[in-house]
Amino acid sequence: MGASLFLVKEAFVLVALAAVGVSLWELAQAFARRGINLPLLPLLVGAAGILVSAYVAGEEALLVSFMLTAGGVVVWRVIDGTGPAALRDSMAGVFAAAWLPFLGGFVMLMLAMPDGARRVLLFVLLAVASDVGGYVAGVLAGRHPLAPSVSPKKTWEGLGGSVLLSCLVGAAGITWLLGGDPLIGVGLGLATVATATLGDLAESLIKRDLELKDMGSVLPGHGGVLDRLDSMLLTAPVVHLVLLAALPVGA
């Protein structure tokens, strides 16, 4: 991933496409447990359009391609029949398009910038720092559950570890990679922990409802690809928008 990010940006777009495509497949398999049939083909085609158009043409293209994908998903499902099942499947498809390729499109917006590789690297480092900080602090000192009914393993101590490491990585990363103010990096660290935790808890709620431990088994010992992306998806638009405001292109 690192080589594709810094050597050939378009190769990283392909990596993102593969990750989103596998995640959509995992989500379709999971939803099928409740009789929900995601229109997978239009979702995969739409995901490619969303990510590529965001990279090539920017924010407006991201929004337009998402709207076209959502419309295509609904039309595709309605052609197979109408009724409550069609409505349920269509809404699930629109949700999937918004959750995976649309949010992932913000990574493509960062990547397309002149210093896009460094912006994306900072985003990845922040997300990893949140996960690693939370895991280490939770294992070493976790005593008080954060949301026991949703994710029993998450603790307040782990949240503190996420905050500490994310803020350190944010301050150092924005200074070394982008020449920005360390205080902005601290703010990014705090925002990353908030969005990453929310994303992880949201996926935990979905898995709990579907009676699943993991969304998939593509990554041995780590579950599915979606299990690794859940905390990053909500973080991407926040990091992009904060960096865009603090370090606009051409500034």
DSSP secondary-structure letter at 46? H
pLDDT value for 217? 55
pLDDT, tens digit, for every residue of 166-224? 999 999 999 999 999 999 999 999 999 999 999 888 888 887 777 776 665 565 455 67
- Distant-in-sequence, close-in-space partners of 154: CB < 8 Å, separation ≥ 6: 134, 138, 145, 146, 147, 197, 200, 201
Alpha-carbon distance of 122 to 74, in angstroms, equals: 36
pLDDT, tens digit, for every residue of 47-82? 999 999 999 999 999 999 999 999 999 999 888 776
Q: What average pLDDT does this structure show over 27-47?
A: 92
pLDDT, tens digit, for every residue of 73-115? 999 988 877 677 888 999 999 999 999 999 999 999 999 999 9
pLDDT value for 151? 75
pLDDT value for 33? 85
pLDDT value for 34? 85
Q: What tokens does 191 get? A: 């925002």
Region at 223 (left for phi over 0; alpha for psi -120 to 50; beta for the rest): left
pLDDT value for 149? 72
Calculate the CA dihedral of residues 244, 122, 151, 158 and round it to 10 degrees.
-120
pLDDT value for 4? 64
**Which amino acid, residue 51?**
L
What value, to the nearest 5°, has the Cα angle with vertex 74 and ends 71 and 78? 140
Query: What are the residue boundaries of the structural domains of the chain, listed by start?
Result: 1-112, 114-251
- Locate the DSSP E strands across the chain: 145-147, 151-155
What value, to the nearest 5°, has the Cα angle with vertex 123 and ends 4 and 210? 95
pLDDT value for 220? 47
pLDDT value for 205? 83
pLDDT, tens digit, for every residue of 126-171? 999 999 999 899 889 878 888 777 777 788 899 999 999 999 999 9
Q: Which strand (E) or helix (H) includes residue 90?
A: helix 84-97
pTM of the prediction? 0.92
